[in-house]
Amino acid sequence: MAAIVSLDVSLASTVLRHANSPAYNLAGKVETVERAALVIGYEAVRTMALTLSISKAMAEQPGGSLNYTTFWQRSLLAAASARVLGQTVKENALDELFLAALLQDIGMLALDRVRPELYRTLDVPQTDHQGLCVFEKAVLNFDHARFGGALLQEWGMHNRTVKAILESHDDHANDVDHFAACVAASGVIADFFLQGGGSEAYARVSHELYRLFSIRDSQCMQVLLQASEAVRNNIGLYGEVMDAIGLVDVASSVSGTKESSSEFEEDEQDFERISRHHLLDSNLEAEGLMGRGAFEKSLKNSFYMLRGQPVSVAMVSINNLRALHGQYGDRVVALLLKVISRKLSDSLRVEDFVTRYGDTFAILLLGSTAENAVKVVERIVQQFEDARYAIADGSRVALLINGGVAGSSASLHFGSEQQLLNRAALALSYAQQAGDYSICEEIPEAQLMEIV
């Protein structure tokens, strides 16, 4: 593959540029296509080659009245958004998802070629995708999704990809497989950016993500932010088309939503609820954990001294610890706390800090983004999910746990260390609502304006 890619100077340089981009954040520079292919992966290089080939071919043979810049902006925004959505809903085929979202509107290119006058009579802006589809159906009795899907079927594309493109304007509310739903929703997210954001565009995205995936407002904003960052990392990768994209200020689009005005007050209550728990405080030092005061002081110092570097807080709750305390007493719970503390220590680095607020453990992860902190918490949760612990009367008990994570970095940060604690507590609250062994992550909504 590297040999074939090297035959095309434009493609080879693009692959190298992508491998050396902030998306991979490598310590050393990648200087060969072979090394770049190992970094990026086979499927990603294949997708990149197809993207560049199609865009180049279409640019060299302009059709009729379709705005090609708008078309490619939507396609690339949708592709980046589909990958973020796929990660959010645990879809494994991310490269195939990227490709399906990228090609979901290819029927417009084909229609513009065979009916060059078609979009000249369009009575809505080409950024109004829904209005454009209504227009197509009125004139042709079908839309570009059906046309594009049939075209890709002729090309021999994968059946799953063809189906997702054919159904990219369908409902998908009852889909068991999230693949096609991610493709459809990616277009709605792309329209949010193309139309300049705003409360109405945000409401459409929020409604769609909740309808299809039960994604809440706070996580919806996280998806938009991550899609925005993914596009920013790749600006220049696909040439002038992406250079022309002006990413909207997501913060202005969510400023009027019900959660944005009072959420910090609400999440403060979550942390206050956690910090009031005093279960077996006398055993705190014996567990080998930091005192709360020392932990919070370390968090404050780290937050301000390391500003611009990643700092995350994770909270792990033992949801049935109080019930076990009521049933078996101090001695059993003290032993369980020692087991929990040991497992936490084994999962963390020596530079991480841990304290306990009653039945909740707070972890300070220096140098870790929220994404990396989630991986740490996932490892911790997995240790307890199938484990059972023998107690004095011969019974074996499970520990039901949840995790919540909030993180700051150079481009994504909270206003204070207290907000970081509060949001980790709020994330934990959402995880507890989602069920035992669930993990949730929160982002600093108040700081979105600085990033987008």
pLDDT single digits (tens) 423-437: 899 999 989 988 999
**Averaged pLDDT for residues 99-111:** 92
**Averaged pLDDT for residues 229-233:** 71
The per-residue b/e assignment along 119-131, b for 16 or more CB within 10 angstroms, e otherwise, is beebeeebbbbee
Give the pLDDT confidence of 355-365 residue by residue, as tens digits: 899 899 999 99
pLDDT recorded at residue 258: 41
Place 391 in a pLDDT band, splitting at 50, 70 and 90.
confident
CB 291 within 8 A of CB 342: no
Beta-carbon contacts of 327 under 8 Å, excluding residues fewer than 6 positions away, are: none
Place 450 in a pLDDT band, splitting at 50, 70 and 90.
very low
Percent of the chain with pLDDT over 90: 28
Residue whose C-alpha is closest to residue 356's, from 389, 316, 329: 316
The total number of residues shown for the chain amounts to 452
Mean pLDDT (the chain) is: 81
pLDDT of residue 251 exceeding 50: no
Element (H, E) at 389: strand 389-390
What tokens appear for 395 in the block? 């019974």
Residue whose C-alpha is closest to residue 429's, from 360, 363, 377, 367: 360
Write the burial class of residue 189 (CB in 10 Å: 0-12 exposed, 13-18 middle, 19+ buried).
Answer: buried
CB 168 within 8 A of CB 104: yes
Give the pLDDT confidence of 133-180 residue by residue, as tens digits: 999 999 999 999 999 999 999 988 889 999 999 999 998 877 778 899
**Averaged pLDDT for residues 203-230:** 83
pLDDT recorded at residue 262: 40
Say how far apart CA 147 and CA 95 lie, in whole Å: 23
Q: Which domains does the chain have, with CATH numbers?
A: 63-254 (1.10.3210.10), 263-451 (3.30.70.270)
Residue whose C-alpha is closest to residue 159's, from 146, 171, 149, 172: 149
441 backbone dihedrals φ, ψ, rounded to 5°: -130, 140
Place 238 in a pLDDT band, splitting at 50, 70 and 90.
low
Distances (CA, A) of 2 to 8, 20, 40, 95, 322: 10, 16, 12, 18, 58
Give the pLDDT confidence of 37-75 residue by residue, as tens digits: 887 777 778 777 877 776 666 555 556 788 888 888 898
pLDDT of residue 283 exceeding 60: no
Say how far apart CA 106 and CA 121 lie, in whole Å: 20
Say how far apart CA 218 and CA 251 lie, in whole Å: 12
The residue assigned the tokens 């990616």 is 186
- pTM surpassing 0.75? no
Question: Any idea what DSSP says for residue 118?
Answer: G
Write the burial class of residue 386 (CB in 10 Å: 0-12 exposed, 13-18 middle, 19+ buried).
Answer: exposed
pLDDT recorded at residue 265: 42
Q: Which residue has better confidence, 49 or 422?
A: 422
Say how far apart CA 116 and CA 138 lie, in whole Å: 17
Longest CA–CA separation in the chain, Å:
82
Q: Order the strands of the 353-357 sheet from edge to edge.
A: 353-357, 360-366, 311-318, 401-408, 439-442
Distances (CA, A) of 208 to 93, 189, 386, 415: 21, 9, 35, 30
pLDDT recorded at residue 306: 72
Written as one letter, the residue type at 104 is Q
Residue whose C-alpha is closest to residue 165's, from 149, 179, 153, 177: 149
Angle at 371 between CA 447 and CA 307, to 5 degrees: 45
pLDDT recorded at residue 248: 55
pLDDT recorded at residue 197: 80
**Averaged pLDDT for residues 312-339:** 90
Beta-carbon contacts of 249 under 8 Å, excluding residues fewer than 6 positions away, are: 197, 448, 449, 452
Q: Which residue has better confidence, 265 or 193?
A: 193
Distances (CA, A) of 265 to 262, 327, 341: 5, 35, 31
CB 450 within 8 A of CB 249: no
Residue whose C-alpha is closest to residue 242's, from 401, 91, 17: 17
pLDDT recorded at residue 164: 95
pLDDT of residue 303 exceeding 90: no
Helices 144-155 and 129-140: angle between axes, nearest 10 degrees: 80
pLDDT recorded at residue 25: 60
Give me the residues paired with residue 360 across strands: 317, 357
pLDDT recorded at residue 52: 74
**Averaged pLDDT for residues 351-376:** 90
- The 10 Å Cβ neighbour count of residue 3 is 8
**Averaged pLDDT for residues 119-125:** 90
Mean pLDDT: which of 137-141, 222-226, 348-352 is highest? 137-141
126 backbone dihedrals φ, ψ, rounded to 5°: -70, -10
User: What sign for the dihedral angle of Cα 288, 294, 298, 299?
Assistant: positive
